[in-house]
Amino acid sequence: MKILIIFFSQTQYTRKVAERMRAGAMQSGADCELVSIGDVETATLQDYDLVGLGTPVFYYQEPANVRQFIAELPELTGKHWFIFTTHASTIGITMDSMRQGLENKGAVIVGYHDTYADSTMPVIPYPTLTTGHPDASEYEAAHLFGKEIVLTAQRIADGDTSLIPSLGYEPDQWAHLAESLKLENLAHFMPPLHIDKDTCTQCHTCEENCPVGGIDVEADPPSIQNPCIYCWRCVMVCPEIAIDAVDGDWGLLLANMPMNYELYRERLDAAVARGEFRWLMDPDTIDFANTQLNRRKAKLRAEKARKTEK
């Protein structure tokens, strides 16, 4: 069996899950390739017996670039696909939305898998509620899924359509938020970003990490969020922290974080009760002033102070 696993990954958790799936698939005797979503040659998809597509969850749904990728796929009539996600507390409508998009192209979805992962956003405190995830057991689960999906897909291909799974992921209480948080709505309340020309060294790290090519640091003035899917990756990877919200104002995102964390905590506690999640940190130690962006700024100030002392 010839398999292709496609992934979109920024923090590398989704990529690492995909790697474990690939290892499992190969252990089952499959010829399995791994490719980042930006490097996919869609004309070759028909050459594979099974294709997997993995993504982190953004705003209770698949990221806009992943949705666009699915929308622009060629016809996939009868081709077998599987879907996997990484997420912090809720999958939202991600699985169902991706399923619908792929089925509209004619694909048959033969498997689903999800994995808890750490969160990285400028205004999220550290440690996060899911710091430490994925752990060894979750990576092993991805490996086992890779082994089993080969066998399942083969039996389905041989005619046992009873093995085609139902979605199995019920929309949760936040699923309705996904509609209001679609890309076309985010610009109305997300903070605009700014590149500080005096701090920016034009190292191009932000450009290389932008999944939609929306940054040009050599423009005058530097151009950013053109376009933007609000992943905030540029903020998190800039080595000089030259990218920040305009006037450092993260507005509603920062103000709503304690309330959101109460909801995340409630959902994760329920997952613990079902045996689906394990706390790897103490959720009672969350410090909302210790945001990931503030931590990076403090670290950079300390590094510069040490260099000055030398």
Domains of the chain: 2-175 (3.40.50.360), 181-254+284-309 (3.30.70.20)
Nearest to 243 by CA among 230, 227, 257, 224: 224
pLDDT at 179: 85
pLDDT at 56: 98
Count the residues in the chain: 310
Q: Tens digit of pLDDT per residue, the chain (310 long)?
A: 999 999 999 999 999 999 999 999 999 999 999 999 999 999 999 999 999 999 999 999 999 999 999 999 999 999 999 999 999 998 999 999 999 999 999 999 999 999 999 998 999 999 999 999 999 999 999 999 999 999 999 999 999 999 999 988 766 666 778 888 899 999 888 999 999 999 999 999 999 999 999 999 999 999 999 999 999 999 999 999 999 999 999 988 999 999 999 989 999 999 999 999 999 999 999 999 999 999 999 999 999 888 787 6
pLDDT at 144: 98
Give Cα separations from 259 to 120, 174, 263 (angstroms): 18, 13, 7
Report the half-sphere exposure of 4 (CA within 13 A, side-chain side).
18
pLDDT at 178: 87
pTM: 0.95
